Amino acid sequence: MAEVFKPADNSTTNNIDRRFSVAPMLDWTDRHCRYFMRLLTKRAVLYTEMVTTGALIFGKGDYLAFNEEEHPVALQLGGSDPDDMARCAVMAQERGYDEVNINVGCPSDRVKNGSFGACLMAQPETVARSIKAMQAVVDIPVTVKCRIGIDDMDEYKDFAHFVDVVASSGCDTFIIHARKAWLQGLSPKENREVPPLNYPRVHALKQAHPNLSVSINGGIKTLEEAKLQLQHVDGVMVGREAYANPYLLAEVDSAVFGDVSAAPSRKEVVLAMNEYIQRQNDPYFKPWHVARHMLGLFQGQAGGRVWRRYLSQNGTGKNPDPNLLLNGLAALEEAQSNVKAFKDAKVG
């Protein structure tokens, strides 16, 4: 049997190259998803789902679990109390995370009621206090992910004031979703789509603060678009497109970082993830916990719908397929063979 493709060992990462990263996405970028994505790209920075300080301090689950292969990997933290934020930053560093990122962009009611997320755009001094408290107790970078504004605080001067105050506390890295957030009247999903993108505002911030590391997020769907953005900012963060069409990540190392090493094929990734599934020893683990992140792996390919349908129909329910990925791959390859036979017969 051919050797199964494995992620690179990036565990000694110190200086994070932020030219390309995958966004933190609630309910999506768990450790299984990140392991899968790391098979596709050795270089992109990966972010956890947002974890709240309350979950880390008082929760019973292990919210910091990750695979060593995920490096460089950052914890996104939700909170606003400086002492709690500092305590959680220490926990993240002790567990081996490469970065702690503060969520100042999520607009959901649950986040707003907890006094963190996008509502903190109106409280830059609160964010600054957390930055100082966290940097005083950890050596890993403490960064901020924010919006360009909220509600009626959506002028460039409001955005610049927020960045100035937070940067004065010692934060030198900002990841900016280039949309404002409406805290009233729009759902989190609508807040990702309805407010218009304003890339020039983020570009202007970088121009005004060449000493800051500025990454841009929002609406970027191709690596060509990413490379155009890199002419204006230091990094690009892609979220939903990387999740829906994950094989996009297989081109990141060469297109963005100039790494000429060969990317794995889709089939190699499936075999590697099947091996990953076999290694799991959690009694509550199910293959679907991994497979759900892989539905888009064959997007745009012959048999892609067969792959998605097989995983969705056979990965859930009372009797899920224990060999879900391998049997899904077999169904895909049979569909591809049928397509080829049909085309050959048509040509003949």
HEC string of the chain?
Answer: CCCCCCCCCCCCCCCCCCCEEECCCCCCCCHHHHHHHHHHCCCCEEEEEEEEHHHHHHCCCCCCCCCHHHCCEEEEEECCCHHHHHHHHHHHHHHCCCEEEEEECCCCHHHHHCCCHHHHHHCHHHHHHHHHHHHCCCCCCEEEEEECCECCECCHHHHHHHHHHHHHCCCCEEEEECCCECCCCCCHHHHCCCCCCCHHHHHHHHHHCCCCEEEEECCCCCHHHHHHHCCCCCEEEECHHHHHCHHHHHHHHHHCCCCCCCCCCHHHHHHHHHHHHHHCCCCCCCCHHHHHHHCCCCCCCCCHHHHHHHHHHHCCCCCCCCCHHHHHHHHHHHHHHHHHHHHHHHHC
Q: How far, in whole angstroms, is CA 157 from its chain's centroid?
A: 29
| Candidates 88, 106, 119, 171; catalytic one | 106
Is the distance from CB of 80 to CB of 115 less than 8 angstroms? yes
171 is catalytic: no
Is the distance from CB of 98 to CB of 71 less than 8 angstroms? yes
Is the distance from CB of 79 to CB of 130 less than 8 angstroms? yes
Is the distance from CB of 126 to CB of 144 less than 8 angstroms? no
| Cβ contacts of 190 within 8 Å, gap of 6 or more | 182
Return the active site residues: 106
